[in-house]
Amino acid sequence: MRIQRIAALTLAVAGVVTLDACHKKPAPAPTPVAAPGPNQDSINAARERQRIADSIAAAQRRAADSAAAARSAADAAARAAEQARTALTAMVHFDYDKSDIRAEDQQILDAKVPVLQANPSVTIRVAGHTDERGSDEYNLALGQRRAAAVKAYLVQHGIADSRIETISYGEERPIAQGHDESAWSQNRRAEFEITAGGQTLKAP
């Protein structure tokens, strides 16, 4: 009898425990916490760093563009100076035993005039040459007449007499070796040398 009461009591306690366990609510899931976003100071600092980087990049581009423009201008000036030098030093030639300026050589002299006008500090020397035929004395005189004819042409076209010096080498400085008309025609010439102002030549 006593054993039956104990068993009944045990069953009752188990039922209460079971009933209590059935009536318990499950624990709520933890609310997720959002990660903290960047504050306004961080945003402003990032924007300022980007502004500085953009400003530096723009300055570098401007510097590169300026350097490229300077190089281009320097190259153009160098090309113009070389063209001016080529025009000033281009030779003219003469017919046998003549000192007259040939029609085909007038344009060579005409090209020198604007270069000399654009470079007033430039002075030149005109050297007259002959072929090997004739005496030394005759050829020196002929070379001088040729140089003088060139000078007179330039002076008549507006170049100051004082800027042009003349000299004759006669037959002493041939540029073509040989004893035929092919060589002689090249040696009958007037050559031009820039004696001052050639370092800063500019195009007309």
Give tens-digit pLDDT for 143-153. Answer: 999 999 999 99
pLDDT tops 50 at residue 21 = no
CA distance linking residue 203 with residue 116, whole number of Å: 10
Ranges of H-type helices in the chain:
2-23, 40-89, 103-118, 136-156, 181-187
| Strands of the sheet with 189-196, listed across from one edge | 92-93, 189-196, 123-129, 164-170
Domain 79-200, CATH number (from 3.40.50.300, 3.30.70.2190, 3.30.1330.60, 1.10.1200.10): 3.30.1330.60
Domain extent listing, the chain: 79-200
SS3 96: coil
How confident is the model at residue 63, as a pLDDT?
Answer: 85
Mean of the per-residue pLDDT values for the chain? Answer: 86
Residues in the chain: 204
- The phi-psi region of residue 134 (left if phi > 0; otherwise alpha if psi is between -120 and 50; otherwise beta) is left
Q: What would the mean pLDDT of 4-16 be, rounded to a whole number?
A: 51
Q: What is the pLDDT of residues 161-187, one digit of tens each?
A: 999 999 999 999 999 999 999 999 999
Strand bridging mode 123-129 / 164-170:
parallel
- The amino acid at residue 44 is N
